[in-house]
Amino acid sequence: MRVRIAPSPTGDAHVGTGRTALYDYLFVRQTGGTFIMRIDDTDLARNTAHAEAGVYQGLHWLGLDWTEGPDKGGPHAPYRQSERLPLYHRYAEQLLTTGHAYHCFCTAEELEAERALQTASKEDPRYSGKCRDLSASAKEALTASGKIPTVRLRVKGGVIGFNDLVRGRIETDTSLMGDFIIVKSNGIPVYNYATVVDDYLMEITHVTRAAEHIVNTFPQLLIYDSLGWPTPHFAHFSTMLNEDKSKLSKRKGATYIGQYAEMGYLPEAMVNFLAFLGWSPGQSDEEMYTLDELVEKFSFARCTPSNAIFDVKKLDWLNAKWIRRLAPADLAVRVLPFLRKAGLVENEVDLGWLTRMTTLIQERMVRLDDAPTVASIFFREPTPAVEEIRAMLAGVDGKAILAAVATTLASVTWAEADIETALRKLQADLGLSTKIFFMTLRLAATGSKVSPPLFASIEVIGRERMLKRLAGLISAT
RNA sequence: GGCGCGUUAGUCUAGUGGUCAGGACGCCGCCCUCUCAAGGCGGAAUCACGGGUUCGAGUCCCGUACGCGCUACCA
């Protein structure tokens, strides 16, 4: 099995490209096939010069890799369409000599006018075939006048079709189709043509892509046929949409894989989520799958044909699940860049301490970039919650209570369990309700009514900083 | 407009002629609890519509509606 992903070099990997690449990768690994990277850069106007790195980076982040491509080389190099022009010309020449294609001298303006006329008279706009049977002398004259022709494929009518791996039989009548351009006047092949030449020469067995390419398959089928080439298998995946059902675009949320990495989504979660957007393992209640598990389960037949909305809420849930599943030490390392970015960590940190801290925030994060918020009390001094504590301790001697806490903490063994035992005993001795006492402590320790578990938090904050925070409050109360 | 694809709760989906239409996210409620989370339990919510075929249709066929795609010398 040989499968290719053919992104345009836009500088970033689109999530749609990511999902298709993921499906390709799963299929290829499952079948022991080869995954190929090909850069479709025939749209000169749109190309950012060699901006492939961003695309590679996004896919690599997901954990995907290929064995042939511009960056890897391979038996069918080059893997960039802009470097394969001679190939396209060779087969265009073949099509021309066999009579399957012909030169068309119509200008873009003439075609535009023709189309306008047809639309006005309510005809379906399609090429009239004006240059279809030009005489040799006419062609010579046009060439002599300096006109540069395009190459058009001669379309003969009839019903054609293919068996889509996810949708079944798809057919159309080509009598509705005009002769279409395969090589532009600037010598660059059109997508539909270049794709066919490349897929054939690169021995692609399964052509996989998004549903918007379904109708492109028809002209491609015609090209395969005209060249006398066998057709590969085709699989068209569902389209991914925004929450308002519009096509996934940058306007309405993140579109590129790199953006999700920056927001603190885990590649494990992203892969899991993307896999389930348009595919399902069938009868199973299991929601979490690793890349390896997906390799085992994936199949084209279980891909859904209908469009799928990219539901960030579900992604968030999955991400939170994956965060909780990570070993704390692993999570700590992943969280660190986000803490640095937020300015909470500037120099080296003690990884043991960071890991301990991470266990406290692990269940309180949806994304990695939640860490700076949730964990700030372990790095920065909170604003003293003087007023809240006063309100909490209304009617009792607050200063004395805080002092008792300080005294207790000053001598206790510094470990969560011991801190808890000591403080619970103090609570009993003071005769305060658990709610009041521990909320007061939480306010004192963290400056907030919401925080990670109290005793462990106190431990992680450390004796010195705890006593300092208490001292500050005692003098302010 | 033409052609193509699609349509199970708000969302992702299971279902391949006979099920109380299953699961998950989200939402609501309860429990647990030092707060917040997490976790547990429970709840509301779905087969787009109309015709067929059949003893029986979410499942098969036709039509309609709606959505998406293509209709370029874009990919």
Q: How far is the CA of A286 from the C1' of B19 (A)?
A: 21
Dump pLDDT digits (tens) for A36-86. Answer: 999 998 866 555 656 899 999 999 999 999 999 999 999 999 999 999 999
Q: Residues A242, A271: contact at Cβ < 8 Å?
A: no
Lowest-confidence pick of A24-33, A112-121, A325-334 = A112-121
What per-residue confidence (pLDDT) applies to A467?
A: 97
Residue A411 has pLDDT above 70, yes or no: yes
The reply to whether the CB atom of residue A409 sits less than 7 A from any atom in nucleic acid chain B is: no
What per-residue confidence (pLDDT) applies to A284?
A: 85
Torsion A67-A70-A71-A75 (CA) sign = positive
What's the mean per-residue pLDDT of chain A? 93
Looking at chain A, the whole-number percentage of residues with pLDDT higher than 90 is 82
Please name every residue paired with A210 in a beta bridge, in sequence order, or none if there are none: A237
What per-residue confidence (pLDDT) applies to A45?
A: 57
Dump pLDDT digits (tens) for A367-403. Answer: 999 999 999 999 999 999 999 999 998 888 999 999 9
**Residues 6+ away with beta carbon under 8 Å from A446:** A377, A382, A457
Angstrom CA distances, A191 to A17, A55, A246, A310, stand at 17, 19, 24, 28
Catalytic annotation present for A147:
no
The reply to whether the CB atom of residue A307 sits less than 7 A from any atom in nucleic acid chain B is: yes
Q: Residues A107, A235: contact at Cβ < 8 Å?
A: no
Q: Which chain B positions have some atom within 7 A of a protein CB?
A: 1-8, 10-15, 23-26, 34-39, 67-75
What per-residue confidence (pLDDT) applies to A147?
A: 87
Residues 371-400 of A with CB under 7 A from strand B: none
| DSSP string over A286-343 | -----HHHHHHH--GGGB--S-EE--HHHHHHHHHHHHHHS-HHHHHHHHHHHHHHTT
Which residue type is seen at A90? R
Position with higher pLDDT, A422 vs A243: A422
What confidence tier does A134 reach under pLDDT thresholds 50, 70, 90?
Answer: confident
Interface pTM, i.e. ipTM? 0.95
What per-residue confidence (pLDDT) applies to A249?
A: 61
Question: Tokens for A447?
Answer: 């400056």
The reply to whether the CB atom of residue A322 sits less than 7 A from any atom in nucleic acid chain B is: no
